[in-house]
Homo-oligomer: A and B are copies of this chain.
């Protein structure tokens, strides 16, 4: 295939007519396919079913310290669940609080607490400012941005380089403006680009000198163990690096088993310095008497230790790797040479990020939707749902079964070509 930009008007029209025909064939199939969210598929969920049968008798409800997990208490989670995350994230158990089923909820709550009561070293609650701001590496995770929007936090786009956010820009902004209170980071297999922060980027984060003494890095380590094969990325331990930099309190790290065990029935964690954890516990004590410790216990009994988790993640990879290959093959077969798409080939995570010609993302997603394939909304990967160039599409290959995924990808490529042709023809 030759670049679309080199097509003559006649060639463009002929190509478009051909594709319109194909598109109308798809439409007549009345498809109903969903590639919109980073949800594990049924086969992935089945991997962990045994976790739900793990209690065998009534002696099974006690934590290692003898605590009855059925009753109230243990605000910070049971010791063995903290130990499991301690092994996984290589952080002392005392720096970890295990919560309920959602790390998103823990992130939301962390910001809610900051809004109403402030964090360590806050002069006043964040909600008492006329305006505060967060830095948002883009493209990024829509639900991070929704949290900011919900709390009226102004978002500033930060360019993502191949090895993480543009740190020159981050350093400059945080050093100048004390109303910049935080930044969202997905340091490994980032959502949606699958990029992993380099050692230099992590160290520059750890060494930030923000004007705001209560600036926090929200380190959403959502995909730390979510490799697609033995070729793995790795990221420096942010808690360690911040400590080494004499900046231990600057970061909140988050993780969960949502995409290890069950998205609706996993366990989540917040990780931070001892000072931060003490501060959080004071506030958490008012919010709840304790998390669901039985589910924490199920997870520890099922996985045993970090190695149990690593082995388990290989089974996820076996299911996901072929799905990612379907997406990449479709993109390559259908689009290579046309020069209307660029995309990443991540070694892990949940997404493939597709960049299309400027002004074509919305139209592509709309065409796909009209033919029965729901994609993540165009723009969703940017604050306020506004992709300034209208060019990023997030592909979430995990949820549809393989045959549906193939169909959906072929349609997506078709829609993109039509959108690009429409653009060429209108110029």
- A105 cross-chain contacts in B, Cβ below 8 A: 287-288
- A40 contacts B71, CB within 8 Å? yes
Interface positions, chain A 135-154, Cβ under 8 Å from B, are 143, 146-147, 149-151
Q: How many copies does the complex hold?
A: 2
A160 adjacent to chain B (CB < 8 Å): no
Question: A118-172: which have CB < 8 Å to B?
Answer: 125, 127-128, 143, 146-147, 149-151
Complex CA gap A128/B295 in Å reads 38
Residue A37 at the B interface, CB < 8 A? yes
Q: What residues of chain B lie closer than 8 Å to A109, measured between beta carbons?
A: 287
**Contact between A287 and B42 (Cβ–Cβ < 8 Å)?**
no
Q: Given A58-B46, A61-B52, A71-B40, does the pair A295, B116 have CB atoms closer than 8 Å?
A: no
Stretch from A207-215, A259-267, A331-339, A406-414 forming part of the interface with B: A259-267
Residue of B73, B108, B128, B151 near A288 (CB, 8 A) is B108
- Cα separation A37 to B294 with both chains bound (whole Å): 20
Interface 1/0s, chain A 15-26, versus B by CB < 8 A?
Answer: 000000000000
Known: A112-B112, A289-B102. A264 touches B117 (CB 8 A): no
Chain B residue numbers with a CB within 8 Å of A303 are none
Q: Which of A74-115 contact B (CB under 8 A)?
A: 74, 100-102, 104-105, 108-109, 112, 115
- Which of B102, B288, B295 touches A295 (beta carbons < 8 Å)? B295
Q: Which of A43-78 contact B (CB under 8 A)?
A: 45-46, 48-49, 52-53, 55-56, 58, 61, 68-74
Task: Name the B residues within 8 Å of A288 (CB-CB).
Answer: 102, 104-105, 108
A391 on the B face (CB < 8 A): no
User: Which of B45, B71, B149, B285 interacts with A39 by CB under 8 Å?
Assistant: B71
A70 touches B262 (CB 8 A): yes
Tell me which residues across on chain B come within 8 A of A108, comparing CB atoms: 286-288
A194 close to B (CB within 8 Å) = no
A322 to B248, CA, bound (A): 53
Chain B nearest CB, measured from A287 CB (Å): 4
Tell me if A292 is interfacial: C-beta within 8 Å of chain B.
Answer: yes
Contact B292 A292 (CB under 8 A): yes
Q: Does A283 count as interface, using CB distance less than 8 angstroms?
A: yes
Q: Tell me the nearest residue of chain B to A290, going by C-beta.
A: B264
Please tell me if the beta carbons of B287 and A104 are within 8 angstroms of each other in the complex: yes
Question: What chain B residues lie within 8 Å of A128 (beta carbons)?
Answer: 127
CB of B72 within 8 A of CB of A37, answer yes
A52 partner residues in chain B, CB cutoff 8 A: 55, 61, 294
Q: Taking A108-B286, A116-B115, A147-B286 as contacts, is the C-beta distance between A39 and B72 under 8 angstroms?
A: yes
Out of B117, B151, B294, name the residue touching A262 (CB < 8 Å): B294
Q: How far is the CA of A146 from the CA of B289 in the complex (A)?
A: 12
Inter-chain CA distance A53–B112, complex, in Å, is 36
Residue from the set A127, A258, A288 with the largest chain B CB neighbour count within 10 Å: A288
Question: What are 20 A-B residue pairs whose CB atoms fall within 8 Å in the complex?
Answer: A39-B71, A39-B72, A40-B71, A42-B68, A45-B61, A45-B68, A52-B55, A52-B294, A70-B263, A104-B287, A105-B287, A105-B288, A109-B287, A115-B116, A117-B150, A125-B127, A127-B127, A143-B289, A146-B286, A265-B295
